Amino acid sequence: SPPLKWRRRRCCGHGRAAAGPGRCGGPSPSPPPLRVFCSTFDVAVVGAGIVGLASARELVLRHPELAFAVLEKEKELAHHQSGHNSGVIHSGIYYTPGSLKAKLCVQGAALCYEYCDQKGIPYKQCGKLIVAVEQDEIPRLKALYERGLQNNVRGLKLIGSKEIQAKEPFCRVRNFLIFN
């Protein structure tokens, strides 16, 4: 994808885009102010966290002819929740099959890995172990596995206790677990 370009429109000091000095319809300043600039934008995105920046990026890619601004109250980007997350890309195993949340989670995970590959961003796809420690947890684990299959979660499989020892030697489980 092309690099993002942020455009700023010059105005004459009256808050309107100018065709030239004093041509916006507002009164001509007298004497002329010292380089009065303001920015006029077609779209302003409020919040420079992961959602705000991703939304702004998508808008810029879809509408390159528009001028955009991202507004953030903090001194740095992703200062709140976006900057404190664990970095896990969720697979979609927990969501109700057929739900929008499940579909978007599975699709979003695939898009995230694709984007990282395209941009050369390193990541680890180390997988997730969901274990049944007690016998009564096994039916819930099987149901979760079925849910993941219905949601088209990639790389989902059941593995036994011997296989787990190779991946996680200190984990003690009943019968099997899910590896994704």
| Residue 19, domain member (yes or no) | no
Q: What's the domain count of the chain?
A: 2
Residue corresponding to tokens 């995970």:
109
pLDDT tens across 91-109, in order?
899 999 999 999 999 999 9
Provide the domain limits for residue 48. 41-84
- Under a CB-based contact definition with an 8 Å cutoff, are residues 165 and 146 in contact? no
Model-level pTM greater than 0.75? no
73 and 98 in a single domain? The answer is no
Residue 103 and residue 137 in one domain: yes
CB 67 within 8 A of CB 8: yes
- To the nearest 5 percent, what fractions of the chain are helix, strand and coil? 35, 10, 55
Any idea which residues carry the catalytic annotation? 90
**Domain annotation covers residue 117:** yes
β-strands 43-46, 68-71 pairing: parallel
151 found inside a domain: yes
pLDDT digits (tens, 9 = 90+) for 18-62: 443 444 444 444 444 444 345 688 999 999 998 999 999 999 999
